[in-house]
Amino acid sequence: MSRLHYIRPETLAEALDHLDRHGSRNRILAGGTDLVVDLRNGDARPEFILDVSRLHELKGIDVTPEGVSVGAGVTLSEIQSSDVLERHAPALRKCSFTFASRQVRNVATIGGNVAHCSPCGDTVPPLVIHEARAVLASRRGLREVLVEDIASGPYACSLPPDELILRFILKPAADVTFADFQKIGRRRELVIARINAAAMARQEPDGRLSFFRFSLGSCTPTPHRMPEVESCLDGRVPTAELVWEAGRLLAERTIAITGRRPSTIYKEAAIHGLLVRMLHPLVTS
């Protein structure tokens, strides 16, 4: 049996060198809140753990010309206290409030949450509505990929093992009048989402939605934007009936992806209900 080594690189270059050589036998530790559980349960048996938590390249929340940049090593607590995100990505900030527990939020990172590829990852739907791209680094250079495309299935990450997520670039929520993140779980805190969802919209004075984005998590193998639901509402006045119809459509589209399973009995109605509840503040009679 090979020995486990803990590596904490001083520089990004060192980290990328390590990944280049040992990527396939390595697991990246950003906060560690998922990885340490996987190690305990024997679900992860790497030879190397690369602790990237102290690389400054992975830190910081900034507004850049490309968009809002959130470092992959930013913790959920940092997201929670970010004024920049409150202004430019309020749904992302909101998801941090109900993310696991304070103890976990203090350590867990957005990069780790995305790369873990849990279908229930709370940061993913808010990132997806911002059409967020992950900036990836390796010895081969930099490239970008849509967050929506990172997971190839539940807990299956499509990124090659020599790449490291540096940061996420979010399209800022320009002139958005509404943004929300909601989740349904079995209790109020310390909860794994049964369903989670993020939405943002711009509502004109006449009630019409001139912009609408929506993403659903926990229900499909990977969290997705729901284009049919978006186009159902985009450009229209969200009456109670229309929102109800959008909810029904969301449930229908979700089942089209997953097929019917035992959990569908609940989820079909609850997905529908969650969208209706979430968009209720937009309803214009």
| List of residues contacting other proteins (CB under 8 A) | 1-6, 8, 29, 32-33, 36-37, 39-40, 45, 49, 51, 53, 77, 97, 100-104, 106-107, 184, 186-192, 194, 240-241, 243-244, 265-266, 269-270, 272-274, 276-277, 280, 283
Closest to 146 in 3D by CA, of 90, 214, 219, 225: 225
Other Cβ atoms less than 10 A from the Cβ of 252: the count is 14
Instruction: Give me the torsion for CA of 253, 255, 256, 261, rounded to 10°.
Output: 170
Assign residue 29 a region (left: φ > 0; alpha: ψ between -120 and 50; beta: otherwise): beta
Nearer to other proteins, 114 or 275 (CB): 275
Closest distance of CB 158 from other proteins, Å: 25
**Shortest distance in whole angstroms from residue 150 CB to other proteins:** 23
Please identify, using beta-carbon distances, which residue of 75 and 138 lies nearer to other proteins. 75
CB closer to other proteins, 257 vs 265: 265
Cβ pair 182, 98 in contact under 8 A = no
Tell me the closest approach of the beta carbon of residue 149 to other proteins, in angstroms.
27
Q: How far is the CB of 208 from other proteins (least distance, A)?
A: 19
Which of 59, 273, 19 minimizes the C-alpha distance to 140? 19
Instruction: Considering the complex, state which of residue 175 and residue 187 has its C-beta at the smaller distance from other proteins.
Output: 187
Rg (CA), the chain: 19
- CB 3 to other proteins: min, Å: 5
Query: In the bound complex, what is the minimum distance in angstroms from residue 196's beta carbon to other proteins?
Result: 12
Q: Which is nearer to other proteins, 39 or 145 (CB)?
A: 39
* Residue 251 near residue 272, CB atoms below 8 Å: yes
Whichever of 1 and 174 has its CB closer to other proteins, that residue is 1
Q: Which is nearer to other proteins, 25 or 45 (CB)?
A: 45
How many C-alpha atoms does 84 have within 13 Å on its Cβ side?
15
The rounded distance, in Å, linking the Cα atoms of 65 and 248 is 38
Shortest distance, CB of residue 151 to other proteins, whole angstroms? 20
Angle between helices 264-279 and 240-258 (to 10 degrees): 150
